[in-house]
Amino acid sequence: MEYGCLIGGEWLEGDREIVVENPYDGSEVGRVLAPEVDVEALLKDAREGQRRWRERPTYEVREALAEAAHLLKKHEDELAELIALEGGKPIRDARYEVYRTREVLRLSAAEAERLYGETLPGDAQRGRTAELILTVREPVGVVLSITPYNFPLLLPTHKLGPALAARCSVVHKPATVTPLSSLRLAEILLDAGVEPLALQVVVGPGAELGEELARADFDALSFTGSRSVGEHLREISPIPRITLELGGNDPVIVDETADVEAAAEAAVRGACYHAGQVCIAVERAIVVEDVYEEFLEAAVEVAESLKVGDPLDEDTDVGPLIDDGAVEKVRRHVEDAVERGAEILTGGEPEGRLFPPTVLADVPEDALVAREETFGPVLPVIRAKDFEEAIRIANSTDYGLHAAVFTERLDRAVKATRKLEAGGVIVNESTIYRADYMPFGGVKASGVGREGVPQAVREFTEEKTVVIGRR
């Protein structure tokens, strides 16, 4: 597989060779021959592309996005295999990613014809005598999209679909290790009828190309990735509207009334999905004293039942981590927890890039694994005296993406939804629960702004107020 970049409506090749490797066995999946990028020229084309795209009738925009969803279905097997090969995601989960991506395009198509405003009375205040006040929604302009490696098809589409539905144009920079899904997606969007100048895809190292783009004169930046890069972009970027979807350290609280087996199953599966490389993966279980031992026993059983191996095998549950650096980080977090008194109940030792599902007991609150994002298949279990203490521990990190609570008590479920500092609180399901139409995003160090197709469309539009005078 060989790609150039999509620039100015054309596929251009250049001298910078980016080899994409399968994280499972290091074999080559494909390469990108990236040309030098002239950011001013990109922006000029993007402005012209936005003008043209905006002139298209609504039904054409809707039909192009719906057609892209249809084409994704047609190429489902090929796309799932590509996600599994370049990202190491188990094939069943890769297929589900393709399905969700289709859904994002379907929802974006629907939003394209729902860019409604409001009507207000013109004369509801003394001295104000207009006939009518209206609001209309207008596109913000040119959007810069920067995405991470872990959902190489879905996360780019969460930006491209809503931005195009809002009649913006987009310059997209995918993660350098998993660019092929984005490039294939761009081909599909153009085949479906999207204005070629309204979508450009460039590939290159984040610290160079990403940084150069983020310093340029875009109208909006939509970034998904790590906390450190997100915070850096907030400092250096002049772009006036910035959405940041960053990392998390998502807790699952289990109280003494909970269905402990169901909670343990959800916590372990939520910690190990895509080898833990998910922003809303379960990063901590906080379990009250009374059911602590029972939870550990059930968690170990689930962890040991998961199959680790080749992402292309239909029965693989846990594939490889993305690179050696990721393995080192997870290993360091586990070692640090052990040094601080935690016990490894199962797992702990990687084989190459395969890290086995790992359950850690008696993890102290100050362990790295309990404070920072581990992004690996590790479930640290923290003991809490009671429900109140569990809530305090859950809120004790810098992050605030999702938080979950397992309880049979309605008052506690309600209390948790009010007290937990998170963008989303999930009751009796794992933190990893996300439907693509629901508002999604973080508080505290987990980011600003909301995604979810309708919410992202809102972020990419500006409300304009129109006053119709009385004559």
- Which residues are identified as catalytic? 245
Distance from C-alpha of 225 to C-alpha of 235, rounded to nearest angstrom: 15
CA 66 to chain centre: 22
Strand locations in 87-152 (E) = 119-121, 132-139, 142-146
State yes or no: residue 176 binds ligand NAD (CB under 6 A): yes
Judged by CB under 6 A, the residue of 373, 384, 422, 458 near ligand NAD is: 373
If binding is defined by CB under 6 A, does position 390 make contact with ligand NAD? Answer: no
Return the structure tokens found at 142: 């040119």
Minimum CB distance to ligand NAD smaller for 66 or for 327: 327
Q: Return the structure tokens found at 410.
A: 């309605």
Residue 260: what are its φ and ψ, rounded to 5°?
A: -65, -40
Which of these ranges, 95-103, 149-157, 193-201, 403-411, lies near ligand NAD under the rule CB under 6 A? 149-157
- Distance CA(211)–CA(192), nearest Å, equals 31
Backbone angles phi, psi at 40, to 5 degrees: -60, -40
Q: Does 200 bind ligand NAD (CB under 6 A)?
A: no
Q: Rounded to whole angstroms, how far apart are CA atoms 282 and 276?
A: 8
Q: Which stretch binds ligand NAD (CB under 6 A): 78-86, 239-247, 453-461, 463-471?
A: 239-247
We find the least distance from the C-beta atom of residue 88 to ligand NAD, in angstroms, to be 13
* Sequence-ordered alpha helix ranges (H) in 166-273: 180-191, 211-214, 227-236, 260-272
Complex with ligand NAD: residue 185 or 361, whichever CB lies closer = 185
Helix (H) or strand (E) holding 155: helix 154-165
Minimum distance, C-beta of residue 153 to ligand NAD, in the bound complex (Å): 13
Applying CB under 6 A, among 22, 101, 108, 150 the residue interacting with ligand NAD is 150
Under 8 Å between Cβ of 11 and 3: yes
Contact range with ligand NAD by CB under 6 A, out of 89-97, 137-145, 172-180, 311-319: 172-180
Can you tell me which of 23, 87, 139, 148 binds ligand NAD, judged by CB under 6 A? 148
Q: Which residues, including other chains, have CB under 8 Å from residue 107's CB and lie 6 or more apart?
A: 161, 436, 437, 453, 454
Q: Rounded to whole angstroms, how far apart are CA atoms 320 and 220? A: 34
Q: Pick from 5, 66, 109, 146: which binds ligand NAD (CB under 6 A)?
A: 146
CA atoms within 13 A on the CB side of 235: 6
Whether 29 contacts 21, CB under 8 Å = yes
Among residues 318 and 445, whose Cβ is nearest to ligand NAD?
445
Smallest gap from residue 212 Cβ to ligand NAD (A): 8
Q: Which is closer to ligand NAD, CB of 167 or CB of 402?
A: 402
Using rule CB under 6 A, residue 218 touches ligand NAD? no
CB of 135 to ligand NAD, least distance (A): 29
- Give the residue, chosen from 76, 211, 343, 421, that forms a contact with ligand NAD under the rule CB under 6 A: 211
Q: Which of 7, 83, 175, 258 binds ligand NAD (CB under 6 A)?
A: 175
Q: Compute how many other C-beta atoms are within 10 angstroms of the C-beta atom of residue 12.
A: 16
- Of 385, 403, 384, the closest CA to residue 283 belongs to 403
Residue 247 in contact with ligand NAD, rule: CB under 6 A: yes
Contact pattern for ligand NAD over residues 271 through 290, marking x by CB under 6 A:
--------x-----------
Q: How far apart are CA 237 and CA 77, in angstroms?
A: 39
- Closer by beta carbon to ligand NAD, 281 or else 302: 281
3-state secondary structure of 202: coil
Residue 69 and residue 107 in contact, taking contact as beta carbons nearer than 8 Å: no
Quick check: 143 binds ligand NAD (CB under 6 A)? no
Helix 76-87 to helix 58-74 angle (10° resolution) is: 70
Per CB under 6 A, does 374 bind ligand NAD? no
| Per-position x/- string for 419-448, each x denoting binding to ligand NAD as judged by CB under 6 A, each - no binding | -----------------------x----x-
Report in angstroms how near the CB of residue 412 gets to ligand NAD at its nearest: 27
Of 245 and 310, CB closest to ligand NAD: 245
Whether 413 contacts 427, CB under 8 Å: yes
**Applying CB under 6 A, does 37 fall inside the site for ligand NAD?**
no
Measured from the Cβ of residue 463, the count of other Cβ atoms closer than 10 Å reads 11
Q: What are phi and psi of 187, to 5 degrees?
A: -60, -45
CA nearest neighbour of 310 among 78, 83, 23 = 23
Among 108, 157, 224, 243, binds ligand NAD (CB under 6 A): 224
Residue 62 or 284 with smaller CB distance to ligand NAD: 284
| Residue 210 binds to ligand NAD (criterion: CB under 6 A) | yes
Binding positions for ligand NAD, rule: CB under 6 A: 146-150, 155, 173-176, 206-207, 210-211, 214, 224-226, 229, 232-233, 245-248, 279, 373, 375, 401, 442, 447
